[in-house]
Amino acid sequence: MRFSDKTAIVTGAGKGIGLEICRELLGEGARVVLNDADAGLAEEAASGLGPACIPVPGDASDPGVIGAMVAAATSQGGRLDIAIANAGITLFGGFLDYSRADFERVMEVNLAGTFFLAQAAARQMKAQGDGGALLFMSSVTGHQAHKNLGAYGMTKAAIELLARNLVLEVSDLGIRVNAIAPGATKTERTLEDPNYDALWSRLTPMGRPAETTDIARTALFLVSDDARHITGQTLIVDGGWTAVSPSPYENE
């Protein structure tokens, strides 16, 4: 029970990786504030996880929603120990035709949402005086080019730099900051493509795409005291794909 008496915020957690992170945290004793842009999904997910999970629906880049998440965390447990900026959106599009509206929306959710959740959480942790852990969700698209994901990939590379930069800002407060860069992962969204599992099983050296538990258990390690001397790092969890980088578009 590594997280007994600890309170965590997880954004974008109505399903997929975020939901699994919440489940794993709760299973190890944490109290969890679960956020999702879809209010119905947030309520349903939290209800299924039990009374130690409080839903705070809304856009994770909205300052009011960020404030509500921190308030919910502190009202539930009296403190905030962990903030995981998992929320993000993917808007595909070729560079020559990509719209400004799509660009700004991806930047707002992926970058502003991560930056300002980290800021609000760090302020609360500073007031408490005994540190905490911040975790950002990057992607292998921040390391390797993917077709039609130029804007998205920019945000993920930037998130990793933010994790490194904040080492200078919050280490003296006892706050650690890290990121995870998942590769292909089986979620409700990715499995809408009936060929996804077979394609990424062929392309991934370990012979399969990640399960959500692979990412969630990495997240728990990085926000736990087991990683108490790790900060400013990004851990790629992709079954070896970025080591060899076979393209999913090679037959197109």
pTM: predicted TM-score of the whole model, two decimal places? 0.95
Indicate the helix (H) or strand (E) that contains 27.
helix 16-27
Span 139-172, pLDDT tens digits: 999 999 999 999 999 999 999 999 999 999 999 9
Q: Is 98 a catalytic residue?
A: no
Nearest-CA neighbor of 16 among 185, 130, 152? 185
Q: How far is it between the farthest Cα atoms of the chain?
A: 55
Check 6, 15, 138, 139 and give the catalytic one. Answer: 139
The pLDDT of residue 250 is: 67
Rg of the chain (C-alpha set): 17
Active-site choice (15, 138, 152, 196): 152
Query: What span, in angstroms and rounded, lies between the C-alpha atoms of 212 and 201?
Result: 15
Q: Which of 126, 156, 196, 249 is catalytic?
A: 156
Q: DSSP per residue over 126-166, as a string?
A: HHHTS-EEEEEE--GGGTS--TT-HHHHHHHHHHHHHHHHH
Residues of the chain with pLDDT under 50: none
Which fold does the domain 7-240 belong to in CATH? Answer: Rossmann fold (3.40.50)
Active site residue 224: no
Query: Looking at residue 108, what DSSP letter applies?
Result: I
Quick check: 186 and 214 in contact, CB under 8 A? no
Give yes or no: 186 in active site.
no
Nearest to 149 by CA among 7, 247, 9: 247
Q: Which residues contact 233 (CB under 8 A, 6 or more apart)?
A: 163, 178, 179
Domain residue extents for the chain = 7-240
Distance in angstroms (rounded) separating the CA atoms of residues 12 and 18:
6
Q: How far is CA 89 from CA 32, 68, 139, 151, 152, in A?
A: 22, 21, 12, 11, 8
Tokens found for residue 157: 């590379």
Read off the amino acid at residue 214. D
